[in-house]
Structure formats: C-alpha cells, structure tokens
Structure 1
Amino acid sequence: MRDEIVASMSRSERLAEMRSARLYFQRPEEPGFLVSETEEGPVVPVFTSCEGLGLFAGPCAWASTTVADLVELLPEGVRALVDPLGPRAFLLDAHTLENTETRGEHDGGA
C-alpha cells in the first residue's frame, strides 16, 4: 500500500517526503560511493529499500543514509539515481532538494 501512495505523489511531494527517508546503496571497499558514468553524467544508484538494492546488485556490502545527508556527501557533480529499476526512477541532487524546499515555502508548506 505504501508503494501505491508514493507512486501517486508528484515528484516534489515525493522529494519532500523523502528528505528524512533512508536510501540504500552498494558500499565500495574504500569509503565513498560506487559512481557509474552515464551519458547524462556520473550517478550513484540508490534505492528506497534493501530489496531494490538486492535486485540491482545482488548480494553485496551495503550502507544507508538519509536523503538529506546523501546529497551533502555526494562528490561535486555526481547525482543520485533513485530506484533505477523502478517505474518512477529520478535523479536527486542538492539543487533538486533546494528547489523542493523553496516551492514548499511558497505553497505554504504544502
């Protein structure tokens, strides 16, 4: 049921809801992130569940953090690709979260 509710939200609603949510990602041997080079620039695949990470990477070492912390920790110019295997995958970076906060303030927090 939670997945259906999240799927019905707008992109900005999902981002606002996710600020404190945990995201899961494959942990490399050295501290940092496993960055994938794409045509649209470097991304780190992250997932809203351990199960999603497992489907993507198989059995692996993993870590998790909040969305807010993740965007602060990402290297300059690297974005997070949230749920890349899902029907509503989207890119996330500090700029995206800032825009969500600004829209919420102009909309009375809604």
Structure 2
Amino acid sequence: MSLRDLVRDETVMSMSRSERLAAVRSARLYFQRPQEPGFLVCETEEGPVVPVFTSLGGLALFAGTCGWASTTVADLVELLPENLCVLVDPLGPRTFVLDPDALGIIDP
C-alpha cells in the first residue's frame, strides 16, 4: 500500500456516512460515447451492462482511442434505464457493479 492510498483510506474512514455518500454521488465517471445519444451497452452472460471508468486511462485501456463523455455518479444513475447495470472499471483490479440503492441515490 502506498502512502497516497493510506492517506486516502484514512480520510475516507474519518468521514461520516452522509459525507461518503455525497463524495460518491459527485465522483466523476468516464464512458465510451456511442454513435447515437445514450450509453454504450455491452451484452454479458449476466445481462446488459454499461462499462464506466474512474479515469480516462482506464477507459483507454478498455476501448482504445474513442469518443468519450463523463458525468457524475448521481447523474449517471438518473439517466440510465432501469434494466441496465453499471460496471465500474471492468478491466481494473477493483471492478464492481454500481448499486444505486446502496448509495441512497434513488429515493434519498
């Protein structure tokens, strides 16, 4: 663990739950911009997902050179159709499915 990771983790742990949720809601995510307005959807064995990334570098590793867009977590969740899951950093070491209900974004 780097010193940067240690400081970040300590800062997050000292925040209240509402402060952590606010930070997550305002976090910026990057995604590949499709030809038509909306989100690029990838079909998987688990169902359709929208791959998003916490950095432009992560998006570049996944998609190469591509058109891209970014938005906050809160706006992304609000804009997505209900039948889609959001997969964060699909090729990274800490891939996870974004759960809007757990974040208290929907019906706060």
Per the TM superposition, whether the score is higher than 0.5 is yes
Question: Where in structure 2 are the equivalents of 1:17-36 lying within 5 Å?
Answer: 17-36=23-42
**Residue 40, structure 1, aligned to residue 46, structure 2:** yes
Counterpart AA for 1:78: L
Counterpart AA for 2:84: V
Report the 3-state secondary structure (helix = DSSP H, G, I; strand = E; otherwise coil) of the residue aligned with 1:88: coil
Q: 1:73 to 1:54 in 2, by over 3 A?
A: same
- What is the distance in 1 between the residues matched to 2:81 and 2:103? 16
- What is the distance in 2 between the residues matched to 1:67 and 1:59? 23
1:39-88 per-residue CA deviation (whole Å, 9 max, x = no partner) reads 21211000000111001000000000000100111112101100111111
The structure 2 residue matched to 1:75, chosen from 81, 84, 93, is 81
**Residue 91, structure 1, aligned to residue 59, structure 2:** no
TM-score (norm: length of structure 2): 0.75
- Structure 1 gaps of 5+ residues are 103-110
Q: Is the 8 Å Cα contact of residues 72 and 94 (structure 1) preserved in structure 2?
A: no
Aligned residues: 97
What do you get for the CA RMSD once the two structures are aligned?
A: 2.8
- What is the distance in 2 between the residues matched to 1:82 and 1:69? 15
Counterpart AA for 1:76: E
TM-score (norm: length of structure 1): 0.74
Percent same amino acid at aligned positions? 70
Shift of residue 5, structure 1, vs aligned partner? 3.5
